Structure 1
Amino acid sequence: MPQYRIITVDAFTEVPFKGNPAAVVAVPSNSPLDETTMQKIAAEMNISETAFIMPLMVQGPEEFQQARVFSLRWFTPTCEVKLCGHATLAAAHALKHELGSEREKIYFETASGQLLVYFGMVNDYSMNLPVDPPAPMPVTDDVKYIVECMFDEYKPTMQVEISPSLRYMVVYDPARSSDDVARLKPKLTPELVAAGKRENIIAVMVTSKSSTHDFCCRFFGPWCGIDEDPVTGSAYTVLGPFWQKRLGKKKFEAHQCSKRSGELYVQTEVTDSNDVSIHGHAVTVVSGVINI
C-alpha cells in the first residue's frame, strides 16, 4: 500500500493549537496523486485546507531537500481553491523542518501563479502573494441579506467591497469595534449560501479597526466548505489594499479574531510585481504517513 508523508502544521502562531491548521502531503515526483485522490485526502483530514507539494525539476531520493521549485495545490474538504496563504506557510514550514530543505527560499507553482516564500531563522516565514484590491460592490437585495446575516442589520453607512480575482466580499461598519467583530455570530443559513452564489462570492470578511493592532477581521466561507477559517493568509491580499486606502500606510499588524486567533505582519507593496508580503510563524503538530 503506497504511503506518503503527511504533516499537520499550525500556521500564524508560535505555539500549538492556535493559528490555523493545515495538512501538508509530500508527493514524490515519481508518485503523483490524481485530483480525485487529493480531494479524498482533504475530506479525510477535514480541516480548512490540505496542501499537496511535489518537487519540480529535481528527481531522486533527495528531491525534497534539493529542489527550489515545487508544485503546490490546496483543497478544502469539499473543493480545490485558487489561493491559500496559511497552507502555503505550512508547506514551507514542512519543507524546512520536516523534509530537510536546504534552500533559503522556495518557489511554489500554483493556480495563482508563482509564489515565493523566504525561510526565517526560528520557524518564521515571509511569503509574497498576488495583491487583489477590492472595489465597491453594487448593493443588491442579496448583498443586503448577506450583510444582515453577518450583523443582524444593513446600514447605508457600511462599506461593502468585492475582490475581482478571489471573489472575497469585505464588509466594514465604521461604527463597529474589534470587540464587536469578535462577538459576531453570523447566521450561516442555506439562504445565505444561495444569496452568495447568486453574487458569485467565495467568502465574506468582516473587518474593523483595532485598538491593539492596525485592523482585525473574521473570515466566513461556507461557499467553499469552511464555515469560519481561523487565520486566512489570502484574506490579506484583499484587506492589505483595503486598509492601505483608509489608514494611509503600507505596513500593518493584523489580528484575525476567530476563536483560535492568529497574528500576521502584512506589508502591501504597490510595485510592478503587485505583491502583498505576509510574515508569520508556524509550528509542527503531527508528523506521520498516510496510506493510499
Structure 2
Amino acid sequence: MSTYPYVIINAFARTSFGGNPAVIIALPPNSLSQPQTFSEETMIKTSLAFAQPMAVFLSLSPEDSTLLDVRFYLGTLTPLICGHATLAAVKALCTNALPSLGQWGSEVKLRTKEGLIISARSITESGSEEDKYEITLPATPVVTVPDVEIDRIASVFSEAAGRNVQVEYAARGEGKMGNYLMVVVGPDENVGDMKLDCEVLVGT
C-alpha cells in the first residue's frame, strides 16, 4: 500500500485548535499532470477519511519546476479554489513541512486543474510570532447579479447565518470562475463574527 506525507494546518488562527483547518497531502511528481495518474476517486476517499474542512493535494509539475499542481477536495465536492486551504498549503511549503515537495522559500505558485495560476508568498515580519501569507488570484471579469437575485441571495445568507444579513451587492464570475459568487454585505455586518451554516450555502 502506498503512503504519502501530509500535515494538518489551521488558517486564520492564533491557537492550535482555532481557525479553519486543512489537510495538505504531498503526492509524487507528475501525479496531477495531464493525464492525471492519481485518481479522483482516491482523492475523494482520502478527503472523506481525513474528515477535514478541506483536503489539498500537491504534486510537482513535470514541465515547470516553479509550479506545483493543486487539487482541492471537500469530500465529493471539488472547488476550483479554496482560500483558507491555499493559505494552509502555502505555509506548509514555505516552512518546509513537506520536504518531498522541495524547497520553496517565501514564494509559491500553484496551478489548478483548469490551468489557473495562484501565486502566494510569505509576508511574515522578521521577529514576529505570527505567520502571515498573501494570495494573488487571477483577475476575472464579473457580472452584476440582478436585484431580484440579490434578494434571494440575501435570504439564503440570512438563513445560513440564523439572522437577517444585509446584502448590498453581488456579482458572479465568468468563464472558469463562473461558479463563484462575490457578495458585499452592509457596513454594519461583522464578517469575522458571522457563523454560517455551509450546508445551507452549498444547497443553493
TM-score (normalised: structure 2)? 0.71
Q: What is the match of residue 99 of structure 1?
A: 98
Q: Deviations over 1:198-232 (max 9, x none)?
A: xxxxxxxxx4xxxxxxx875555327869xxxxxx
**Structure 1 residue 159, shift from structure 2 partner:** 1.8
Equivalent positions of 1:237-276 (< 5 A) are none
| Correspondence for 2:170 | 161
AA matched with 1:137:
P
Verify: 1:222 aligned to 2:202, yes or no.
no
- CA–CA separation in structure 2 for the residues paired with 1:115 and 1:36: 24
Q: Is the 8 A contact 1:159 1:171 kept in 2?
A: yes
Q: Determine the structure 2 residue equivalent to 1:146.
A: 156
Structure 1, unaligned stretches of length 5 or more?
60-66, 179-206, 208-214, 227-292
Question: How big is the shift at 1:147?
Answer: 4.9
Work out whether residues 30 and 62 of structure 2, in 8 Å CA contact, stay in contact via their aligned partners in 1. Answer: no
> Could you tell me how far apart the structure 2 residues matched to 1:225 and 1:47 are?
16
- Structure 2: where are the runs of 5+ without partners? 32-36
Q: Against the structure 1 CA distance between its residues 107 and 217, is the aligned structure 2 distance closer, same or farther, given a 3 Å change threshold?
A: same
- Is 1:135 the counterpart of 2:137? The answer is no
After superposition, what is the alpha-carbon deviation per residue over 1:156-208, rounded to whole angstroms, capped at 9, x for unaligned?
x852413323432526245x443xxxxxxxxxxxxxxxxxxxxxxxxxxxx4x
Closer, same or farther: CA 124–144 of 1 in aligned 2, 3 Å: closer
Number of the residue aligned with 1:84: 82
Aligned length: 181
* Aligned AA (1:85): G
Deviations 1:87-137 (A, max 9, x none): 112112222331244233221111361111223456432221134657343
What is the CA–CA distance in structure 2 between the aligned matches of 1:51 and 1:218, rounded to whole Å?
Answer: 23
Distance 1:225 1:52, change over 3 A: farther
Residue 92 of structure 2: SS of its match in structure 1?
helix
1:116 is aligned to 2:119? yes
Structure showing the higher strand proportion among its residues = 1
Query: What CA deviation, in whole Å up to 9, does each residue of 1:225-246 have, x standing for no partner?
Result: 69xxxxxxxxxxxxxxxxxxxx
Distance 2:132 2:48 in 1: 28
Contact 2:30 2:61 in 1 (8 A): no
Aligned residue type for 2:15: V
Cα drift, residue 4 of structure 1: 0.7
**1:3 is paired with a residue of what secondary structure?**
coil
- What SS is found at the alignment partner of 2:87? helix
1:6 maps to 6
Which of the pair has the greater relative contact order for Cα pairs under 8 Å at 6+ separation? 1
Tell me the amino acid that sits aligned with residue 139 of structure 1.
V
Is the CA contact (8 Å cut-off) linking 2:55 and 2:85 kept in structure 1?
yes
Cα shift at 1:47: 1.8
AA aligned opposite 2:116:
G
Decide whether the 8 Å contact of 2:156 with 2:201 is kept in 1. no
What SS does the aligned partner of 2:89 have?
Answer: helix
